[in-house]
Amino acid sequence: MYNFCKSIIDKILALFFIFLYLPLSLIIAVVIKITSKGPVFFKQQRVGQYGRVFILYKFRTMVLDFDAERDQVFVKKLIKGEYGKIGEEPVFKLKNDPRITRFGMFLRKTGLDELPQLINVLKGDMSFVGPRPALHYEVERYTLRHKERLKVQPGITGLWQVTGRSMTTFDEMVELDLLYATKKSLILDLKILFKTILLVFRGKGAY
């Protein structure tokens, strides 16, 4: 019953917010085109619930020729525990990342870069609340424990984001995702959404 109700609520809210933020989204799209070369949207393959691959949408915040291979190397080492906290390196929103445009920095700080993910929610790829959608080269390095997080539909925000956001280790992030999987409820989802809004307004943990 929870999953059914959550799916219906997700789609209704996604459709509502898509129309609500359409004027703002158009303005953001124009500013991106004016201030930097490249497409308006950043598209990337992600791994969703039960390993289903989908295309995730965001407003582009980086320069066009950013080094994606650098991120892949970091993620592989992060999963192995060779790095400390998520957020200390590029793939999870590095502070003062030179690859991020000036307007992109604003979009990330406010969370507006993730507005296009409303499309993913409407399509059923994601939910408003759930684990961070995984990268395919990240999943290739998962242990059996890590793969447990793929049993839950990924979300725009989640327990990890409101607890430690971008300053936790990978294993800590996984444990928070698994805790959400065992405790998930509509009440918990509302609490996470409320905390997310507070974090965005306070500018904490959003690089």
The reply to whether 207 falls in a domain is no
Tell me what pLDDT residue 44 has: 94
The reply to whether 206 falls in a domain is no
Tell me what pLDDT residue 88 has: 45
pLDDT per position as a tens digit, 150-159: 999 999 999 9
The reply to whether 133 falls in a domain is yes
pLDDT per position as a tens digit, 44-58: 999 999 999 999 999
Print burial letters for 74-89: b (CB count within 10 Å at least 16), e (below 16): bbeebbeeeeebbbeb
**Structure token pair of residue 32:** 């991106």
The reply to whether 161 falls in a domain is yes
Tell me what pLDDT residue 188 has: 96
The reply to whether 118 falls in a domain is yes
The reply to whether 7 falls in a domain is yes
Domain with 32 in it: 2-201
DSSP string, the chain: -HHHHHHHHHHHHHHHHHHHTHHHHHHHHHHHHHHSSS-SEEEEEEE-GGG-EEEEEEE--B-TT--HHHHHHHHHHHHTT-S-STTSSGGGT-TT-TTB-HHHHHHHHHTGGGTTHHHHHHHTS-EEESSPPEEHHHHTT--HHHHGGGGS--EEE-HHHHHTTTSS-HHHHHHHHHHHHHH--HHHHHHHHHHHHHHHHHT-S--
Tell me what pLDDT residue 150 has: 95
d(CA 79, CA 89): 13
Tell me what pLDDT residue 207 has: 43
What mean pLDDT, rounded, does the chain reach? 86
Q: Averaged in consecutive runs of 10 residues, what is the pLDDT profile of the chain (207 residues)? A: 93 97 98 95 96 97 72 63 50 62 92 96 97 91 92 94 71 90 94 90 59
Structural domains counted in the chain? 1
Tell me what pLDDT residue 137 has: 87
Report the amino acid identity of residue 35.
Answer: T
The reply to whether 146 falls in a domain is yes
pTM for the model? 0.84
The reply to whether 103 falls in a domain is yes
